[in-house]
């Protein structure tokens, strides 16, 4: 029997590909965080991705965290992974799996593998698995296409509107990733 794992799912390309990747290796429990300012399109995308995978889905409100216009959330990965590790231990999961990639690590210190290794050592139960740590955004999108992930279900815009704005950093990154 496959081991159980907590898989962080946001609604973006990386997490959609990650959930598909995890289905072949683990019995996933999808974990999503609700923060203030989260675009409704991202929440809808997350629900669609998890429903397609047919896995249990936990949603944890962390309303004290707020996204800034740039999408940056202070200490986000420390909070998210601390909660995920606690849930993993409670649910007898052997791993917490996250879709952080090389592109994230170039921008955010708390998205680097060294950050997660330190965090993993603090709690000692579940492993933190980062299967895309050496991949770029474009490589993750290409993997998603190879795996048959419906990338059209995903949301990558920082703004809350009826459709992606096309101009924010997340939208520009999405366009570049999907064109590669």
Instruction: Please count the structural domains in the chain.
Output: 1
Could you give the angle at the alpha carbon of 160 between the alpha carbons of 164 and 31, nearest 5°? Answer: 95
Q: Going by C-beta distance under 8 Å and a sequence separation of 6 or more, which residues neighbour residue 50?
A: 9, 19, 30, 32, 57
Which CATH number does the domain housing residue 116 bear? Answer: 3.40.50.620
Q: How far apart are CA 48 and CA 8, in angstroms?
A: 15
**What does pTM read for this prediction?**
0.94
What is the sign, positive or negative, of the torsion defined by CA atoms of 102, 104, 105, 107?
positive
Question: What is residue 123's predicted lDDT score, i.e. its pLDDT?
Answer: 81
- Tens of pLDDT, residue by residue, the chain (180 residues): 999 999 999 999 999 999 999 999 999 999 999 998 899 999 999 999 999 999 999 999 999 998 776 777 889 999 999 999 999 999 999 999 999 999 989 988 899 999 999 999 888 789 999 999 999 999 999 999 999 999 999 999 989 999 999 999 899 999 999 997
Q: Which domain holds residue 120?
A: 4-179
Q: What does the pLDDT read at residue 84?
A: 97
Res 107: pLDDT: 87
């Amino acid at each position: 029997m496959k081991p159980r794992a907590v898989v962080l799912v946001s609604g973006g390309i990386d997490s959609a590909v990650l959930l598909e990747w995890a289905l072949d290796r683990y019995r996933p429990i999808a974990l999503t965080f609700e923060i203030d300012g989260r675009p409704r399109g991202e929440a809808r995308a997350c629900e669609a991705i998890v429903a397609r995978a047919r896995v249990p889905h936990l949603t944890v409100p962390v309303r004290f965290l707020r996204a800034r216009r740039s999408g940056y959330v202070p200490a986000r990965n420390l909070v998210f992974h601390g909660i995920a590790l606690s849930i993993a231990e409670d649910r007898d999961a052997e791993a917490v799996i996250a879709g952080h990639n090389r592109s994230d690590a170039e921008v955010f210190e708390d998205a680097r593998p060294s950050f997660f290794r330190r965090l993993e050592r603090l709690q000692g139960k579940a492993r933190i698995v980062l299967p895309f740590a050496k991949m770029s955004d474009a490589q993750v999108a290409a993997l998603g296409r190879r795996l048959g992930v419906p990338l059209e279900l995903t949301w990558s815009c920082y703004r809350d509107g009826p459709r992606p704005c096309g101009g924010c950093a997340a939208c520009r990154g999405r366009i570049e990733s999907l064109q590669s």
